[in-house]
Structure 1
Amino acid sequence: MAGRRRGRGNNNVQQQQNPKSQRKAPRKALREPAAFAKSTGYECEVPHEKLTLAQARRGTPANRPARVYADGIFDLFHSGHARALMQAKNVFPNTHLIVGVCSDELTHKFKGYTVMTEDERYDALRHCRYVDEVVRDAPWTLTPEFLTLHKIDFVAHDDIPYTSAGSEDVYKHIKEAGMFVATQRTEGISTSDLITRIVKDYNIYVRRNLQRGYTARELNVGFIDEKKYRLQDQVDKMKETVRTVEEKSKHFVYRVEEKSHDLIHKWEEKSREFISNFLELFGADGAWNAIQERSGRMLQFLSPLSSPRGSPSSSPTRRRSVSPDLLPSSASLTPPSSPSSRKKGKRSANKAASAQSRRVQ
């Protein structure tokens, strides 16, 4: 251990001294894909002794992990599969998990048609983090020869009886031999459930793949069905366009309503301001009356002498300011006579003239 620590320290020093070499070093994955099992089976130097459940649960030496086997179809690999393998990997403290995957021929014979090919299913299992080894073309029923070939200590599967190939439970002999360890199924998800979802929404997925460029022949869709799907796509596009226009119109109406409210609010503010300014200017105590009063005073001050009595220009101060030379004669200052007095004056003048003429005679 000390030598390993010392070596690691030297490597760290070398990496610090040569940072460029550290940058150029290729990145390694956290874990390489699981290896495929050899057709000749598991080979080990020491004799492989069978483990008991008690020994496996206590933990085994590092060079002798418990070899646990789990098999299945693993079509459309999903989280339910991964959870089952996780339980099988953690069933003992030191476990080497071997996963057997049945071939297409065997699966189609005993269970049915698969979505993924056997090579795709093999490769999917190799990239699961819990898997240490993958057995291709695994048998449908486990035989003693197969268990001995791969040095299998225990078989992991859910404890629900698996009826297939004319047997009520294909794991019955494994359970009787004390080699069975149970895992729990994940409810709500399975390959059958996923296929059921696809079949239920078949039209949606066909239309989607037609839109993505797949041909009707690749999707096994007839001429009439293809035209029907194309027409449905056009109708959906029109609906989406109408929906978009409606949303935009609603937004436009909302904006116009907001603008109208703002304009009305501003108009009310301006009208109040105009009315207050008008009242301030033309009211009883407003500035307009003050201006008129001032202008009247100025006009009275600048008015001529012939202004009527009672006006500011006929005041005593105004008369005193005029020089005596400019005053009219006393005859012009006599008030004018009325028409009746003029007639009386004419009559008296005529009488005086006639009397004078009599005297002369």
Structure 2
Amino acid sequence: MAGRRRGRGGGGGVQQQQASQKQRAGPRRALREPAAFAKSSGYESDVPHEKLTIAQARRGTPAHRPVRVYADGIFDLFHSGHARALMQAKNVFPNTCLIVGVCSDELTHKLKGYTVMTEDERYEALRHCRYVDEVVRDAPWTLSAEFLSKHKIDFVAHDDIPYTSAGSDDVYKHIKEAGMFVATQRTEGISTSDLITRIVRNYDIYVRRNLQRGYTAQELNVGFINEKRYRLQNQVDKMKETVRTVEEKSKHFVYRVEEKSQDLIHKWEEKSREFIGNFLELFGPDGAWHVIQERSGRMLQALSPYSSPRGSPSSSPTRARSPSPDSSASPASLSPPSSPSSPPSRKKGTRSSVKAASTYRRHEQ
């Protein structure tokens, strides 16, 4: 008994392991391969599809029985707002299989308007979104009970804003009343209409850009005059860009020249300060040149002192007043002697000087 129980338990464990491996393989396969298209005959499963409530779906379901959530739309110019809505629908329950319905071009042009992308392009955009498990082509505008039963849809995900179309105030009203509706949040600031508005607002720019890239005027549905105007404007823009480039280069060159000139001025100032400092150190009042001159003057004076000039009184007053010890000169010897043999002076006042000398001699006698 114990062995059988272990065997049955082991078998159940293998089944659970295989189911969990399939569950893990699903997301990995979705990341490597695009999502599959839904079969025209509808969803087929070996497991009976029982009706689920929102409470049961939120508690979680077995791996072999994911909650099938449906989201539909046009998905023209597939953008981040679309992807974010699908991400919310994928994660509304712990175990979710997300089915996305895409309306055809014929139905969309009839009930909403012209699209930028074709239906095949929109199908492929949805198939390569990581949150999508199945894509339903040519999806209906209004969901019927037959369509929900055909694809075994448990819940429908969409934003809670009433969607008025096809003569109805809200195409999801009957889904909400049946308790099969789960709400997602819209992403503000981006929509397909906003993107188309940008293109229309900047029509001339996009036309000129595509003409530059090689598209013909017929492909862009542009007339002859407008084509010539756009091409002329392109030439003018090229000339402006060339002038702007030259201006930038010239500004850069001038800036570099200014930098070099500033460097040269700074270096010149530093050299001039250094030269002036060296000059002052050498020839200034306390410079080395004056010190050398002063020292050389002292040396010359020590080696050869200056002599007194002739006829000038002695520089030392003591030498003039103290008589020589060897001389016994009388007061008469202090007077200048008269030389009879000296020739008479021709200068003015000679006679008076001779008379004064003879008077002096008489007085001595």
Distance 1:277 1:343 in 2: 67
* Alpha-carbon offset, residue 45 of structure 1: 2.3
Counterparts of 2:231 and 2:343 in 1: how far apart (Å)? 122
* CA shift digits 1:21-51 (9 cap, x unpaired): xxxxxx9884321110111111122432222
Aligned partner of 2:55 in structure 1 is: 54
Structure 1 residue 216 displacement after superposition? 1.6
Answering whether residue 96 of structure 2 is matched by residue 95 of structure 1, we say yes
Alpha carbon RMSD of aligned pairs, Å? 3.3
Cα distance in 2 for residues equivalent to 1:94 and 1:61: 8
Within 5 A, what are the aligned runs for 1:62-141?
62-141=63-142
Aligned to 1:69, the other structure's residue is in SS state strand
Query: When the two structures are aligned, how many residues end up with a matched partner?
Result: 291
Specify whether residues 87 and 270 from structure 1 end up closer, same or farther in structure 2 by C-alpha distance, changes over 3 A only: closer
Q: How much does 1:94 deviate?
A: 1.5
Secondary structure of 1:181's counterpart equals strand
Deviation of the 1:284 alpha carbon: 5.7
Shift of the 178–30 alpha-carbon distance from structure 1 to 2, 3 Å rule, reads closer
SS in 1 for 2:204: helix
Unaligned runs of 5+ in 2: 1-9, 15-27, 302-306, 310-341, 346-365
Q: Which amino acid aligns with 2:266?
A: H
In the alignment, residue 213 of structure 2 is paired with which amino acid?
A: R
Pairwise mapping of residues 209-358 of structure 1 onto structure 2 (< 5 A)? Answer: 209-283=210-284
1:281, CA displacement in angstroms?
Answer: 4.4
Q: Please give the secondary structure, in 2, of the residue aligned with 1:218.
A: helix
Aligned partners of 1:275 and 1:106: how far apart in 2? 94
* Structure 1 segments unaligned to the other structure (5+ residues): 5-26, 301-308, 312-340, 345-361
- CA offset at residue 112 of structure 1? 0.8
**Cα gap change, 1:192 to 1:28, in 2 (>3 Å):** closer
| C-alpha distance in structure 1 between counterparts of 2:32 and 2:279, whole Å | 88
Higher mean alpha-carbon deviation, 129-138 vs 86-95, is at 86-95
For residue 191 of structure 1, what is the amino acid of its counterpart?
T
Residue 342 of structure 1, CA deviation: 10
- Which whole-Å deviations, capped at 9, do the CAs of 1:31-84 have from their partners, x for residues lacking one? 321110111111122432222222222222221111111111011111111111
TM norm structure 1: 0.70
Letter in 2 for 1:168: D
Report the counterpart of residue 354 of structure 1 in structure 2: none
1:153 shift after superposition: 1.3
Q: Give me the whole-angstrom Cα distance separating, in 2, the residues matched to 1:45 and 1:244.
A: 70
**Against the structure 1 CA distance between its residues 225 and 291, is the aligned structure 2 distance closer, same or farther, given a 3 Å change threshold?**
same
> Which letter does structure 1 place at the counterpart of 2:151?
H
The letter of the residue matching 2:99 is: I
Are the structure 2 counterparts of residues 271 and 44 from structure 1 closer, same or farther at C-alpha, using a change threshold of 3 Å?
closer
In the alignment, the residues of structure 2 paired with residue 265 and residue 45 of structure 1 have an alpha-carbon distance, to the nearest angstrom, of: 90
| SS at structure 1 position matched to 2:158 | strand
Q: What corresponds to 1:165 in structure 2?
A: 166
1:74-127 CA distance string (max 9 Å, x none): 111111111111111111221111111011111111111111111111111111
In the alignment, is the contact (CA less than 8 A) between 2:211 and 2:217 conserved in 1? Answer: yes
2-side partners of 1:53 and 1:297: how far apart? 120
CA shift in 2, pair 1:85/1:310, >3 Å = same
Q: Give the 3-state SS of the residue equivalent to 1:217 in structure 2.
A: helix
Paired with 1:289 and 1:37, the residues of 2 have a C-alpha distance of 110
Cα distance between partner residues in 1 of 2:191 and 2:94: 28
Distance 1:74 1:298, change over 3 A: same
Further displaced range: 207-216 or 184-193? 207-216
1: CA distance, partners of 2:47 / 2:290: 124
Cα deviation, 1:268-306, whole Å, max 9, x if unaligned, reads: 233333334444444566566678899999999xxxxxx
The answer (yes or no) to whether the contact 2:31–2:130 under 8 Å persists in 1 is: no
Are the structure 2 counterparts of residues 173 and 297 from structure 1 closer, same or farther at C-alpha, using a change threshold of 3 Å?
Answer: closer
Q: Deviations over 1:297-334 (max 9, x none)?
A: 9999xxxxxxxx889xxxxxxxxxxxxxxxxxxxxxxx
Q: State the distance in 1 between where 2:296 and 2:123 align.
A: 110
Decide whether aligned partners of structure 1 residues 284 and 224 sit closer, same or farther in structure 2, where only a CA change above 3 A counts: same
On the 8 A contact 2:99/2:136 being kept in 1, the answer is: yes
| Counterpart Cα distance in 2 of 1:130 and 1:283 | 90
1:29 and 1:244 map into 2 onto residues whose CA distance is: 49
CA separation of 1:66 and 1:142: change in aligned 2, threshold 3 A: same
TM-score, normalising length from structure 2?
0.70
